[in-house]
Amino acid sequence: MKTNLLIEQHFHGCFGIDFNKASIDDVLFLSKEILKYGIGAIFPTIVTDTVKNTRRAIWTIKEAAKLQTHDMAKIAGIHLEGIFLNPEKKGIHNPAHFLIPTVDNFRLIEDDFIKIVTLAPELDDGLMEYLSGKGIKVQAGHCVGGNLSACAGTTHTFNAMSAISHRGKSTSLSALINDNLYSEIIADGIHVSDDALKLFFKTKPTDKVILVSDCLPCTKSSLKEFIFADELVYYNGAKATSKDGTIAGSTSLLPDIIKRLHSVGLFNHEWIENPYNYHNLDLKGSIEWDNEFNIQDITL
């Protein structure tokens, strides 16, 4: 089977590189190496950090994008996952750095290279309208609110958001029943059970499913312990967690997740096209997969 190259809109790093701490050379190396895995465009994702460190990470990624060559995955923009989240659903993020989602607070780190912002809609104080007006994708994540009417999408659906409820509203329930929302899902077999994935894939329109990895710096590296989001994270070869057992992110790249989904009979190749439409991207190149969804060839 031949498909377009993959687009990864939510990942924090790999090959031992953390986008919050990376140098320009680190980002360029990562973007070149990841193309070998069939990933043609990336949205480096920044976890919650201080304003100073966030600004530095944004600058670094933006400068790296200016220096890219044809043999690298396109750096299509930044996904800002941190800062504007709800402490009730903080996940691995450090709530000491959280700010209220206001325009003034966003201006502390504002940059035209930010293309996606994950925030808690229930805490919004004017920021969502401002971001949407600038064409930035607003995604609900690390939140408890059920009103997602002003959102373009949801971030790692089910994880770090209020669960499905048969009474009242919840973020997960709203994500499932709103056919206009693009919804990320981490289908690595750890973050979401296969039964929950079946419900998600049955409920969401085919053209609104966004497969993401949310992968960590330890992915495709020898790292077993590392600092991420101010926490010491332990990687046991399958799962990466903090000392208290909080899952920090995945340890699989997108093609690995696709292969796993195929192995359990849950993969739909049409999902590969959805990030192209969501972000209005046009990439050259294709992937040739074998019957078990191993990559056989990549054409640029």
| Closest to 59 measured CA to CA, from 101, 23, 10 | 23
Number of domains composing the chain: 1
pTM for the model: 0.97
**pLDDT given at position 118:** 98
**pLDDT given at position 24:** 98
Spell out the SS3 assignment of 35-85. Answer: HHHCEEEEEEEECCCCHHHHHHHHHHHHHHHHCCCCCCCEECCEEECCCCC
**pLDDT given at position 15:** 98
What CATH number does residue 181 fall under?
A: 3.20.20.140
Mean pLDDT (the chain, rounded): 97
Cβ within 8 Å of residue 203, ≥6 positions away: 176, 177
pLDDT per position as a tens digit, 178-192: 999 999 999 999 999
> Which CB contacts under 8 angstroms, 24+ apart, belong to 246-250?
246/91, 246/92, 247/91, 247/92, 247/159, 247/190, 247/191, 248/92, 248/216, 249/12, 249/92, 249/214, 249/215, 249/216, 250/186, 250/188, 250/190, 250/191, 250/213, 250/214, 250/215, 250/216, 250/219
Share of the chain above pLDDT 90, in %: 99
Q: What is the mean pLDDT of residues 42-68?
A: 98
pLDDT per position as a tens digit, 207-247: 999 999 999 999 999 999 999 999 999 999 989 999 999 99
Residue range(s) defining the domain that contains residue 271: 2-299
**pLDDT given at position 192:** 98
Tell me the C-alpha distance between 187 and 222, whole Å: 23
Q: What is the mean pLDDT of residues 192-219?
A: 98
Q: What is the mean pLDDT of residues 150-155?
A: 98
pLDDT per position as a tens digit, 105-125: 999 999 999 999 999 999 999
| Both structure tokens of 135 | 């064409």
Q: What is the mean pLDDT of residues 90-96?
A: 97
pLDDT-derived band at 254, boundaries 50, 70, 90: very high
In terms of DSSP bridges, do strands 209-212 and 39-46 run parallel, antiparallel, or are they unpaired?
Answer: unpaired
CB atoms within 10 A of CB 52: 10
| Both structure tokens of 75 | 């750096």
**pLDDT given at position 5:** 98
Q: What is the mean pLDDT of residues 24-46?
A: 98
